Structure 1
Amino acid sequence: MFKYFLIVVVFAVYSKILGFLFTSGEIFILPLWSPFDQHIIMKFLYDFVVIHLLALQAIASDMYPPICFLLLNAHLKILSQQMLRLGVGGRECHTQSNIATIVERHIVILRIYKILDETLSKMYFVQLSVASLELCVSMTSIISRSMELPELMFTVGFAFAAIFEILPICVLADQFQTLSEKLADAAYATNWPDQSFRFAILFIIHRSQNCRLILAGGIVPINLSDFSQYCAIRLLFLSNLYNDILIKI
């Protein structure tokens, strides 16, 4: 996902740069004031550096939250594998020591998940709102305006970048829920009714099956299915907008 997001961002950046070169500066790389407006070469170099820094900042800020989920998902996979090996060829005391470690690590994972819930909820809601606005403005510009090819390439790349901003966190948050269910299945498969540590197993099963979804702004669940609905609603809106424009024409 990071690779594809990087490709989209680079595509958008260099379409702007090509537009500046092909139109001899008529299409600006950045529609911002710079101290070199009277010198086209210096302005090109200035905007070239600034747009790369902005792209780097966008990639870094958008990929930071998914990394947290990536680490949590990796730890959940490890716990599931350890759970499946419980009681296989080991002594009872050794097994009890292992289950205590697994319970402790699972609690730490759930605490980190709670912190992510508290921090990501508002942040993702703002990001979702901004991405929706960016996508609608970009697609409306494509439909209602006649653009030069480089400008059209940038607008399309920017629209895809707005989608990719929210995709990784949705995929990894959805994967966290799936891995939690797999951890509960692995715990259930340990023949827990006959084990002395069955209460610890029940604790893991209960906590894994009742891991609630993170809600953006307390409204929108952060998962893959809701991301698909988000894209479908935006595409439907743009389709209706395009039809309205054709009717007026």
Structure 2
Amino acid sequence: MLTEVDSTRAFRYQWYLWRFIGLHSPPLDTFWGRHYLAWTILVNVVPMFYLPVSFYMECLVSRSLIEFCETFYLAVVTLVHQMKVINVSRVQRHLLELQGIMRQLDGRLQSEPECQVIRDTIDKSEKICLYTLRLFVMVLATGISFAAWSDERELPFPAWMPWDFQKTLGIYALTFTVQCVGILILSFISASNDTYPLVYLVMVAAHCKALAIRIAKLGHNALSPEQTHQQLHTCIQDHQTILQLMRILTTSLSSACIIQFLCTALSVCTLSFIVIYIEMSFLRACHLMFLLTSIIIETLIVCYASEQVTHEGEEMANAIYETNWMDQPVRFRRTLVFMMMRSQRPIGIVAARILPVRMTTLLSVIKGAYTMFTVLKEAKARN
């Protein structure tokens, strides 16, 4: 008897975080549900309104290229996360629909190796989510460390304030605390919005792999040709379901991916400029390196997950060839050929319907960041 598998368990951290930040409402007949709107407003005032405005204003009042770069990457990152939150609220209905489809695929699993593939992917996705959240919290921790050890009253992240936060220790401590709380909540928002594409994509890849295992066994058992052909039809239906999942994911993630790529290129460019041309303490250098790593990982995990889907889709053709098609009737072989032709068409996320999201895409983003860095370097040389 097969152990029950639930693919939706892989998404629990995302939905917990979305509920915390006000994107996933509980039932309205509960105490929590009746006061959820007030909680949503309260928890989003600082990270989604106060912090972005302070970063935008700091960019506008900067007096030099270096000062501008010190805040520009923060303004870009917060702007992108504001847009991601809007995108999540827009596609939330589709994400719930995807979970229902994955439950259907769970019910199709027929062997322990198929179930084990799903369980291993669930565990891997949960670990990646936790590691990503820890990395974002580490960015905040290093920012607090260098600001606390600074000789002057500095904030963890440079920002414009309508008051003089350095005037008294009390005002400084209050401003410091508010920014830290806002950045912490923003870390939760970032972790959920950056990892949900990864989780959905790797789960689709896992179901592709489980389906490939099932296909490879066709014709190798004692079933009649008619029963084997019926199993092939079931596999084709599951393959079509997976393709439906990818169409929904492409619709949900396409615009978010292209925004993420642009944000990564701009942020890597400005952060590299700061690290190279500004003298800083060791703690601040560590902070900026953690920040640079987290920004790159935001794009890396999406590219990796899309690459996994593409790879498992290509492996489907190999699984089809491993079936015992030589001992099957012509009708089976003809159907198998059509399935192989469809499996040879690559699947994966296409950003803005023109840019396939692969690991090579990350290299293109880094190259774009380097190109912009050379422009900044020339501008500094002229000044």
Residue of structure 1 in register with 2:359 after alignment: 224
Match of 1:89 among 221, 231, 237: 221
| Deviation (angstroms), 1:22 | 0.9
Letter paired with 1:156: M
Give distance in 2, aligned partners of 1:208 and 1:246. Answer: 51
Tell me by how many angstroms 1:91 deviates.
1.0
Question: Residues 36 and 42 of structure 1 are in contact (CA less than 8 Å); yes or no, is this contact kept in structure 2?
Answer: no
User: Matches of 2:228 and 2:162 in 1, distance apart?
Assistant: 67
Change (3 A) 1:148 1:86: same
1:53 aligns with 2:188: no
Across the aligned residues of Structure 1 and Structure 2, the Cα RMSD in angstroms comes to 2.9
Tell me how far apart the structure 1 counterparts of residues 189 and 134 of structure 2 sit (CA, whole Å).
15
Alpha-carbon separation, structure 2, partners of 1:172 and 1:123: 15
Matches within 5 A, 1:205-220: 205-220=340-355
Pair 1:103–1:7, CA change in 2 (3 A)? same
**Cα offset for 1:233?**
4.6
- What residue in structure 1 maps to residue 369 of structure 2? 234
Aligned 8 A contact 1:80 1:186 in 2 = yes
| One-letter identity of the residue aligned with 1:234 | A
Aligned to 2:83: none
Residue deviations 1:164-185 (CA, integer Å, cap 9, x gap): 1111111111111111111111
Change (3 A) 1:98 1:24: farther
> Unaligned regions of 5+ residues in structure 1, if any?
none
Are 2:139 and 2:287, in contact at CA under 8 Å, matched by a contact in 1? yes
Does 71-80 or 138-147 show the bigger shift? Answer: 138-147
Please give the secondary structure, in 1, of the residue aligned with 2:323. Answer: coil
Rounded to whole Å, the distance in 1 between the matches of 2:189 and 2:230 is 45
- Deviation readout 1:98-149 (Å, 9 max, x if unpaired): 2122111100000111122223222111111111111111111222222333
Give the secondary-structure state (helix, strand or coil) at the position aligned to 2:155.
coil
Of residues 275, 282, 287, the one that matches 1:154 is 287
Moved more, 70-79 or 14-23: 14-23
Contact 1:34-1:43 within 8 A present in 2 as well = no
The 10-residue stretch of structure 1 (189-198 or 174-183) with the greater mean CA deviation from structure 2: 189-198
1:28 positional shift: 0.4
Q: Does the aligned pair in 1 maintain the 2:261–2:299 contact within 8 Å? A: yes
Q: Deviation string for 1:187-246 (max 9, x for gaps)?
A: 1221435423223322321111013553322332200122233324534654x4697589
From 140, 152, 157, give the equivalent of 1:13.
140
Corresponding pairs, count:
248
> In percent, how many aligned pairs have the same letter?
22
Change (3 A) 1:232 1:82: same
Q: Report the Cα distance in structure 2 between the residues aligned to 1:20 and 1:99, rounded to whole angstroms.
A: 63
Matched residue type, 1:27:
E
Q: 1:201 aligns to what?
A: 336
**Scaled by the length of structure 2, what TM-score is found?**
0.58
Structure 2 residue identity aligned to 1:14: A
Counterpart mapping for 1:92-103 below 5 A = 92=224, 93-103=226-236
1:18-167 matches, cutoff 5 A: 18-23=145-150, 26-30=153-157, 31=159, 33=161, 37=165, 39=170, 40-92=172-224, 93-167=226-300
Contact 2:246 2:348 in 1 (8 A): no
Contact 1:36 1:43 (C-alpha < 8 Å) held by counterparts: no
The alpha carbon displacement at 1:33 in A equals 4.5
Give 2:144's aligned amino acid: I
1:173-188 equivalences under 5 Å are 173-188=306-321
CA separation in 1, counterparts of 2:130 and 2:367?
24
| Whole-Å separation in 2 of the counterparts to 1:121 and 1:91 | 43
Whether contact under 8 Å (2:309, 2:347) holds in the other structure is no
Distance (whole Å) between structure 1 residues aligned to residue 144 and residue 323 of structure 2: 59
Deviates more, 1:28-37 or 1:8-17: 28-37
Supply the AA of the counterpart residue of 2:254: S
Q: Which runs of 5+ in 2 are unaligned?
A: 1-127
CA contact 1:72–1:109 (8 Å) conserved in 2: yes
